[in-house]
Amino acid sequence: MPNSVVLLNIQSDRIDAEVQIPLSELQAAFGHAVNDSSTGLVARLGPDLREYLSQHIRPVSLNGQPWAVAVGALKVQETKNPINGTYRELTAQVRLVPPVGQDVRQFVFRYDAVLHQVVTHKILVSVRQDWVRGQVVEESPAQVGVIELDIINNRIPTLPVNLKTGSLWTGFRAMVQLGIRHIAEGTDHLLFLLVLLLPAPLLVTGSKWHGFGGVRYSLRRLLLIVTAFTIGHSFTLLLGTLAWVKLPSQPVEILIAVSILVSAVHAIRPLFPGREAWVAGGFGLVHGLAFADTLTNLHLESGPLLWSLFGFNLGIELMQLSIVALVIPWLILLSQTRIYKATRIVGAMLAGMAALAWVLERVSGQANIITIGVEQLADYAIWLVLGLALLAVTSWWQTHKAYSRTLPG
Amino acid sequence: MRKHFVIYALPAVLLLNVITGCKENEDDSTTTPDFSTSITTVLSNTTSANTTCGSATGLAKVVCLAESFKSTLDATQLSAVQLTYSKANAQRWSNLPEGLYRNRVGLDLASLDETQLAAFRDMMVAVLTLNTSNEGYDEMLGNLVADDYLNTAGGGSTYGAGNYYLAFLGIPSVTGLWELQFGGHHYTFANTYNNGTIAGVTPSFRAIEPMDAVSANNKNYQPMEQERQAFAAMLGALSSAEQTTAKLSSSFNDVLLGPGKDAQFPTTKQGLQVGSLSADKKTLVLNAIQLYTNDLDSETATAFLNKYTSELDNTYIAFAGSTAVTSENDYIRIDGPSVWIEFSYQGGIVIRGTPHPHSVWRDRTSDYGGQ
């Protein structure tokens, strides 16, 4: 039978808990027909449920002082696991606040919702987020313990919680790593930037890309684009995280896909020659809003939030710069050869295809064969860079050799 | 040339990944439904093929049949089925299908050919009672048939007779310590032998889904129905005052002492003392107990039933839910100085919306043969 799950988000002066209780189990304990009719359950029984939960969730400090417990949002949702198949569960947001001066990281968790009546029930307690310990990713909650009947003595034990001490530095470092990972996994962000860099070493004549503009010219333009992108997304990351700007994530994600499409077209035919930096900056604003979503979802308090903002952005820049540094030399070499045009056009077309597929995915909410493929391909990115390097070096060498042979000797 | 290589390699790699990346993750358990159907067909023919163990009796016969079974195996199968005895291995049973548990020891029935299956059958017939409908060997067979049904009724390849495992923990002998362990999703059989005698026949786990009759090989099976009826009769015969005493205030959606809950018998017995009941009501309690003990060969069954009968007055019965034993959260417990039996009706897993029972028989002193 399905278990209850308690996920703790540890803050500096309180714990935000999410409690998940399977309705089939709750019904036997709560005494109302909750599982028989879960539609409108929260509207119908909200106050009773909140009352029930605050009676059965009672953390106390080590000196026995009870914590304040406030039951917030309630929701009923369908969930699934391989052992129990599909079932419905109640999700409750519960705020646990220790008395003034009492440690938030050490307490006795008295929790017997459902279990006080259904003695075969189990409650799995885990920490989902603990900033000062550097645990910020929701993927793998760290189990604190299981609350279940002590069968031998027929009583319900309490769960002692004793979290290791953390530090500001640990939290900050984790945020830098999160930023790095975010870009490493953010195929769409990288693709936008790389495709925008494709024509950067080139001169433009009229409405066509032309030959190589020289190393200094290329570097200047490349750096300008990267810097503009950084300024753009840092700005909205700040605004979005501090909740001064809030856009729903779907249009933002669609705009990001559109930004790749625009830069892909531009790489084939110059749409905005010489104004790439402005475009990078403008679309950077959109990308930053998506970064902000990641931070907002962590629900951090203001202290850690500022450090997180700084660390997360630092991680993003570090990763971005290292990838740009990995690619730029080959672009500069390759742009001096005859095959650059083909490389640029094929690259831009593939990126455009991916962008269209993303637009489709983000409008429909359904992954498609191309977006799945791109995500798979991203795992081999290092081989693509190596291939690019190999191509650049060999063609540059061949071009150079041909050129030196034509010189009068 | 190189230019073309990169231009073509990109879409090719993309395409390759799309093709390989879109496959569903399939369960990798080894059973084929077609074959597990034939498993129960072979096992349902109970005419013995064995010619060498006919004159042996008791434990000597079980050992002889175990050796005969082992002689049909190849080296790989033999090393899978014959393990050293350890408590840790003995505790590796579960009420989960193998695809979710993935921790059973021994050899799966799916990997046996017809000759090997027949030799396995001859051995099981020697340790389980034969020719009693839905009890003993027939109950085990019904359990396999029901699991085959779950396989076809939406449960998929993790269910089915082929996913049941046999292991010898310790070498079968008429002197040493060894356990005959056989089990899968809804069935665990564990006979422990030591110093030439049977030292324990528990933990013994019996459950079924679906509860309704399933049919195979021109026969209907309903392995847990007689147990259910015996419990309902036992509870229904009680006076209302006795029922009040026997009724537990807690609710149960499973048994307490299922897999992994070894040596956790409650210190205090709950419910109604059987010693306070009239003779006919005591008989109804014994009737329920017999449906567990009498699954075994008659000699073993008698030994355990005699022990439980002599301790009957100090045995307690308790229940939760209703006395009819038909709905989810209905629960019965028989808790004696030695015997421990639980029966729990709980929600359906593969067949949604229909309850199914789990049941466990343990012994306070001889679980795992006292090891």
Q: Which is more confident, B124 or A249?
A: B124
Q: Using 50, 70 and 90 to split pLDDT, how confident is the model at B365?
A: very high
Contacts of B15 in chain A (CB under 8 A): 373
Cβ B200 vs Cβ B217: under 8 Å: no
Q: Which is more confident, A290 or B134?
A: B134
Residue in chain A nearest B270 by alpha carbon: A154
Distance from the Cα of B277 to chain A's closest Cα (Å) equals: 26
- Express each pLDDT in B194-203 by its tens digit: 999 999 999 9
- Express each pLDDT in A332-357 by its tens digit: 888 888 888 888 888 899 999 999 99
The angle formed by the CA atoms of residues A109, A71 and A57, to the nearest 5 degrees, is 20
| Minimum-distance CB partner of A120 among B96, B256, B270 | B256
Amino acid B349: pLDDT: 87
Residues of B with CB under 8 A from a CB of A: 2-3, 6-7, 9-11, 13-15, 17-18, 20-22, 96, 100, 250-257, 261, 264-268, 270, 329, 344, 346-347, 349-350, 352
Structural domain count, chain B = 1
- Express each pLDDT in A131-159 by its tens digit: 999 888 666 888 999 999 999 999 999 99
> In this structure, is residue B31 part of a structural domain?
no
> In this structure, is residue B65 part of a structural domain?
yes
- Express each pLDDT in B289-333 by its tens digit: 999 999 999 999 999 999 999 999 999 999 999 999 999 999 999
Decide if A85 and B21 are in contact by the 8 Å CB cutoff: no
Cβ B83 vs Cβ B105: under 8 Å: yes
> In this structure, is residue B11 part of a structural domain?
no
Work out the percent of chain B whose per-residue pLDDT is above 70: 90
Write the DSSP string, A105-145.
SEEEEEE-TTTTTBTT-EEEEEEEEEGGGTB--TTSPEEEE
What are the DSSP E strand ranges found in B43-124? 82-83, 107-108
- The H or E element containing residue B220 is strand B219-221
Amino acid A303: pLDDT: 82
**How would you classify the pairing of strands A122-130 and A4-10?**
parallel
Residue B123 has pLDDT above 60, yes or no: yes
Cβ B132 vs Cβ B301: under 8 Å: no
Q: What 3 state SS string does B148-192 have?
A: HHHHHHHHCCCCCHHHCEEEEECCCCCCCCEEEEEEECCEEEEEE
- Express each pLDDT in B151-170 by its tens digit: 999 899 999 999 999 999 99
Q: Is A232 helix (H, G, I), strand (E, B) or coil?
A: helix
Output the CA–CA distances (angstroms, integers) from residue B52 to A95, B47, B60, B68, B119, in the order listed: 72, 14, 12, 8, 12
Residues ≥6 apart with Cβ < 8 Å to A111: A6, A56, A57, A58, A59, A123, A125, A147, A158, A159
| Minimum-distance CB partner of B266 among A151, A380, A384 | A151
Amino acid A405: pLDDT: 63
Amino acid A407: pLDDT: 57
Amino acid A334: pLDDT: 85
Residues A61, A108: Cα–Cα separation, whole Å: 6
Average pLDDT over residues B218-233: 97
Q: Using 50, 70 and 90 to split pLDDT, how confident is the model at A403?
A: low
Residues of A with CB under 8 A from a CB of B: 1, 24-25, 28-29, 82-85, 117-121, 149, 151-154, 339, 342-343, 346, 350, 369-370, 372-377, 380, 384, 387-388, 390-391, 394-395
> In this structure, is residue B42 part of a structural domain?
yes
Residue B26 has pLDDT above 60, yes or no: no
Distance from the Cα of A123 to chain B's closest Cα (Å) equals: 14
Q: Residue A132 corresponds to which tokens in the numbers above?
A: 């000062």
Report the candidate in B257, B133, B159, B132 with the shortest Cα–Cα distance to residue B203: B257
Work out the percent of chain A whose per-residue pLDDT is above 90: 47
- Express each pLDDT in B69-108 by its tens digit: 999 999 999 999 999 999 999 999 999 999 999 999 999 9
Q: Using 50, 70 and 90 to split pLDDT, how confident is the model at A406?
A: low
Domain ranges of chain A: 4-166, 169-405
Residues A59, A97: Cα–Cα separation, whole Å: 9
> In this structure, is residue B22 part of a structural domain?
no
Residue A14 has pLDDT above 70, yes or no: yes
Q: Which structural domain range is residue B250 located in?
A: 38-259+266-369
Sheet of strand A57-60, all strands in order from the earlier edge strand to the far edge: A57-60, A106-111, A159-162
- Express each pLDDT in A274-327 by its tens digit: 888 898 999 899 999 888 888 888 888 888 888 999 999 999 999 989 988 888
Distance from the Cα of B149 to chain A's closest Cα (Å) equals: 17
